[in-house]
Amino acid sequence: MNEPFIRNHQYNFIKKQIEYVRHACGTVTDPKIVESVRYGAEAKIMELFPDAADVQMQLLGNISALQTVEDFQQYLSSVEPYMTQFPQVTEKQIRKLFHKNKKLAIPELAIDYRYATYLGWIDISVNKLYMVYPLDGQIVGIEGKFTPTNKKGICFICNRHEETVLFTAISKSRPAGSLPDYYKAVGNYMCMDSRECNKNITDVASLERFIRDVIG
Ligand SMILES: [Zn+2]
């Protein structure tokens, strides 16, 4: 049997491509254009999985056969069982990740871990934002201040126009010979609602770059 191999952000990417095709089928009258949209979507999905086995390619391919609304839904439901889960974390593990923080707020942990690329939560009482992510197979946690912007902006993680906060964390990297009071803050605008962000993220490159910047 085929093992789960699709991460949440990849699933979001697939969903987005399928949505393009469905939209083109419903609005574009030139069949050649529809075909090229189908072809493009299939190619982009395949590019996500350069090492895909034949069965996996079979599962993801055949987008040219999708015609009706039911077909598109069917495609996505056939893909969903192959989603991997975010590594389930316990409260104890989270406390360990942020062991220096004695006032740590624990997030809701009873969630569907398939639909998580990262765990993010905020503690409004102290203006803190926390993030947990499996970086290179190891769970890491970062924390920082958040400043509400009270307006919509582009989130650096999911690239969508959403209600954002400015997340600022202190980087642990120190250049050689730096003074004891040296510090470097790294900041980015990101979704206030990490659940929405997890529904929209299609690429982990910016997120991983940021986490690496912070953990040094
Ligand atoms: Zn976002």
pLDDT in tens, 156-173: 999 999 999 999 999 887
* Å from CA of 68 to ligand 1 middle: 31
Which residue type is seen at 19? E
* Å from CA of 23 to ligand 1 middle: 24
Q: Please state, for a pLDDT cut of 90, what percent of the chain lies above it.
A: 87
Average pLDDT value for residue range 108-112: 92
Output the pLDDT for position 1. Answer: 53
* Å from CA of 159 to ligand 1 middle: 6
* Å from CA of 156 to ligand 1 middle: 7
Domain 8-82, CATH? 1.20.1280.250
- What residue has token string 């040296």? 182
Output the pLDDT for position 178. Answer: 81
* Å from CA of 80 to ligand 1 middle: 22
d(CA 49, CA 13): 12
* Å from CA of 181 to ligand 1 middle: 32
* Å from CA of 157 to ligand 1 middle: 5
* Å from CA of 164 to ligand 1 middle: 8
Confidence of residue 62 (pLDDT cuts 50, 70, 90): confident
What tens digit of pLDDT does each residue of 122-148 get? 999 999 999 999 999 999 999 999 999
Average pLDDT value for residue range 33-55: 94
Average pLDDT value for residue range 166-182: 85
Farthest-apart Cα atoms in the chain, separation? 66
Average pLDDT value for residue range 84-97: 94
Q: Please state, for a pLDDT cut of 70, what percent of the chain lies above it.
A: 100
Output the pLDDT for position 168. Answer: 96
> Please, which contacts does 168-173 make with residues 24 or more away whose CB atoms are closer than 8 Å?
168/144, 169/142, 169/143, 169/144, 169/145, 169/214, 170/144, 170/214, 171/213, 171/214, 171/216, 172/214, 172/215, 172/216, 173/213, 173/216
* Å from CA of 200 to ligand 1 middle: 7
Confidence of residue 176 (pLDDT cuts 50, 70, 90): confident
d(CA 4, CA 41): 21
Token pair, residue 216, equals 């040094």
* CB neighbourhood size of 85 (10 A): 13
Asked whether the predicted pLDDT for residue 100 surpasses 60, the reply is: yes
Asked whether the predicted pLDDT for residue 201 surpasses 90, the reply is: yes
Mean pLDDT of the chain: 93
* Å from CA of 174 to ligand 1 middle: 28
Range(s) for CATH 1.20.1280.250 in the chain? 8-82
Output the pLDDT for position 180. Answer: 80
Output the pLDDT for position 216. Answer: 84
**Which range (156-160, 181-185, 203-207) has the least confidence?**
181-185
Output the pLDDT for position 79. Answer: 95
Output the pLDDT for position 179. Answer: 81
